[in-house]
Structure 1
Amino acid sequence: MWRKTTIMMLCYCVPYVLIIGSVGSGNIWLFWLFWFLMGCGMVGIGASIMHDANHGTYSPNEKVNTSIGHILEVLGGYSVNWKIQHNLLHHTYTNIDGLDEDIDTIVLLRLSPRQQWYWFHRYQYLYAWFFYMCMTLFWMTAKDYLQAIRYEQQKLLAKYKVSLKKAIIHITLYKIFYYAYVLVLPLLFSGQPWYFVLTGFVIMHLTAGFILACIFQPSHIMPDATFPEPIVENGKRLIKDSWAIHELTNTTNFAPNSRFFSWYIGGLNFQIEHHLFKNICHIHYKKLAPIVKEITEAFGLPYHVKPTFWEALVDHAKMLKMLGKNQTPCQS
C-alpha cells in the first residue's frame, strides 16, 4: 500500500509540478495532457488510497487511516460527507431508492426502476455519460455543502460528532486550499492564458469523473440487480433479504483477470468482495473471490461476474436503456 501510495501521488503531483513549472507553456496539447494525467492520478488516489483509508482498511493503525483518509480534502472533497454517503448509506442500503444516495441523482438520470420516469429518460443511455463526466466538478463546488445541510437534517452529522457550522467551515477552508493550489498557482505560474488553465482544470475533472463513473456504475446499475423495495416496520425502512444476500443480488464484479486494471482502481472490480468484506484491504480481494464464489454456488446464491470491463460497460448501457422505458421490469 505504501508503494502504491507513492506511485499514485506521483501520477498526480508530477504533472502538477510540470504545469506550474511552465514546462508545457510552449505546447498547449502537452499542457492539457498534464491536466489529463492529473485526472488519472485523481482516480488512482481516490480508488486505491483514500477509499481504503476511509474504510479503515489502509492500515491496522486507526490514526494512519484517519491521516491518509484526509487526502480526500487535498483533492477538494470532505471525508465526513464521503463516509456518510459511502460507508453508512451505500454499503448498508445498496440500490435501495431513497436510502442509497449513489442512485439518488439528478432528475435527468433514472438509475432505479423504483424512481419516477420521465419521457427524456428514454435517451439517458446516450446522454448519461456526459453527466457522469461532470460528477467531480459538481462535487468540488456544490455537492459537499448540499450534503452537509441534508445530513444535518437527517441527524447523520452527529454520528461523526460534527455540527453543521463546523462542517461548513471545514468544507469552505478545504475548498479555498484546493482552489488555491489547483487553479490560482497554475494561473500565476504556468505561463498560459487563464482560459487555457480553466480548460485544463475542466479536462482533469471530466477525465476523473468519467473514469470513476465507469468503475462504480457497472458495479451496481446492471440488468441482474434486484433494486428491492424496502419493508416498512414501525416507521423504519428495512432490507427485505439478509444484508449479505442483498449485497450479492445487487453487486457485480468485472475484469477479474486484469491485474493492472485491478491494481489501478484499488480492486474495485471485485465489488462483491468489497461489499461483503469492507473491513479488509483491497489487496486481498483477488484471493477472496474464488472462496466467495465457491460458497455462493454451494448455497445456490448469485455471483455476478462480467469477464471484461468492456462487457460490464455495455451491460450498464443496456440497463440505462431499460430504465429509460416507462415500465421497467424489476426482478425483486
Structure 2
Amino acid sequence: MVIVYFLPWAMIVSNIGAGHLPLFWLCWVVMGCGIVGIGTCIMHDANHGAYSANRKVNVFLGYILELIGGYSVNWKIQHNLLHHTYTNIDGLDEDIDSIVLLRLSPRQQWYWFHRYQHLYAWFFYMCMTLFWMTAKDYLQVIRFGRRNLLVKQKVSLSKAILRITWYKMFYYGYVLVLPLLFSGQPWYFVLAGFVIMHFTAGLTLACIFQPSHIMPHASFPEPAQEGGKRHIKESWAIHELATSTNFAPRSRWLTWCIGGLNFQIEHHLFTNICHIHYRKLSPIVKKTAADFGLPYHEKRTFWGALVDHARMLKLLGKNQLA
C-alpha cells in the first residue's frame, strides 16, 4: 500500500512520462487509492493497537497518518473514543456529525434541501479528505481542546496546533511543492492532480465507511441521561451489533484492499484484534448473535451495501425515519 502511494508520486516528481498526460493523471488517481490502502490497512489497525503485538510497532506505524496529511491524535479521539463508544448516537459520534447539508441520522434537524442529498452527498464525500487535509484538523483539535479530550492524549492545545502545522508543511511540501517544481507540468495541472487524488480517496473511503453504519436497518438510539452525562442505554456490545453492518464477507480481494473493514461488526467488537482474523471471527459472532436473538446485519455484496446506503440517504432526506 505504501508503494501504491509513493511509486506514482516518485514518477510525477521524477518527470517520468511528462509528455504523456494520461499517465500523469493516472498517477494521481493511484495515489488516491494508496491513501485509502494506507489508511485502512496500516494506520487503522496500528492506531487501534492491533497491527502488531508490539506496542512500539503500533505507535510507529500509527504515525503514517501524519505522512499522508492527517493528525493521529485527532483520529484517535474521533474514531477510537467517540465513534467506537457512541456509534450512531447524534451529538456524540462525530462520524455522523457532518455539515448541515448532510443529514446522516433521523435525530438530526431536517431541512428542505435534504430531499436531494442522495444525489449531491457523493460530491461532499469526495471532498472529505481534502477538507481533512486543509481545515478539519485545526477545527477539530480546537474543539477537542475545549472539551478536555486532549488530556488523555498527553498533549496541550498549543502543542497540538504546532505539531499539526509542522506536519501539514511537510505534507504539502512533498505532495505539492515538489511536483510543482519537478513534474514538468503546469501548476494548474499539478493542483488539479492533487484535487483528483483527494476526490478519489474521499469518495472511496466514504463508500467503505458509510454503508457500515448509515443504513436503513441500523439503529440510531438516543443516549441515556444520568448525572448530567450522556451514555448508551444498553449493553455496549449489543449496541455495536445494532448499529454496524458487514458487507461482501466472501470477497477476499475486497477484504485485503480495505483492511477487513467490510467486517465492521467484528471490528467494532474486537478493536484490539488485527483485521486478518475477522473472517474467522465472523461466523462465531454471527452464530452467537442468533443464539441470543440479537441482530447481525450483513449485505452479501459491496454494491448491495452501497445501494442500501443511497436508499438510507433518500429516506433521511424525505424525513421518513424517526
TM-score by length of 1: 0.96
| Cross-structure match for 1:199 | 192
**Superposition pairs for residues 43-192 of structure 1, below 5 Å?**
43-192=36-185
Quote how far apart the aligned CAs of 1:71 are: 0.2
The answer on 1:293 being equivalent to 2:286 is yes
| Cross-structure match for 1:272 | 265
Q: Name the aligned partner's letter for residue 202 of structure 2.
A: G
Q: Distance in 1 between matches of 2:242 and 2:17?
A: 48
Aligned residues: 322
Q: Distance in 1 between matches of 2:147 and 2:22?
A: 46
Q: Which runs of 4+ in 1 moved over 4 A?
A: none
Q: Name the aligned partner's letter for residue 305 of structure 1.
A: E
Q: Distance in 2 between matches of 1:183 and 1:40?
A: 17
| Cross-structure match for 1:10 | 3
1:219-239 CA deviation, whole Å, 9 max, x = no partner?
A: 000001110011111101111
Q: Distance in 2 between matches of 1:246 and 1:321?
A: 24
1:263-321 CA deviation, whole Å, 9 max, x = no partner?
A: 01000000000000001000000000000001000000000000000000000000000
1:201-247 CA deviation, whole Å, 9 max, x = no partner?
A: 00100000000000000000000111001111110111111100000
Quote how far apart the aligned CAs of 1:143 are: 0.3
Q: Distance in 1 between matches of 2:232 and 2:242?
A: 12
RMSD: 0.6
| Cross-structure match for 1:329 | 321
Unaligned stretches of 5+ in structure 2? none
| Cross-structure match for 1:33 | 26
1:251-273 CA deviation, whole Å, 9 max, x = no partner?
A: 00000011111101000000000
Quote how far apart the aligned CAs of 1:329 are: 2.4
| Cross-structure match for 1:4 | none
The answer on 1:244 being equivalent to 2:265 is no
Q: Distance in 1 between matches of 2:47 and 2:76?
A: 7
SS of residue in 1 equivalent to 2:85:
coil
SS of residue in 1 equivalent to 2:230:
strand
Quote how far apart the aligned CAs of 1:24 are: 2.6
Quote how far apart the aligned CAs of 1:138 are: 0.2
| Cross-structure match for 2:275 | 282
Q: Distance in 1 between matches of 2:231 and 2:176?
A: 45
SS of residue in 2 equivalent to 1:96:
coil
TM-score by length of 2: 0.99
| Cross-structure match for 2:207 | 214
Unaligned stretches of 5+ in structure 1? 1-7
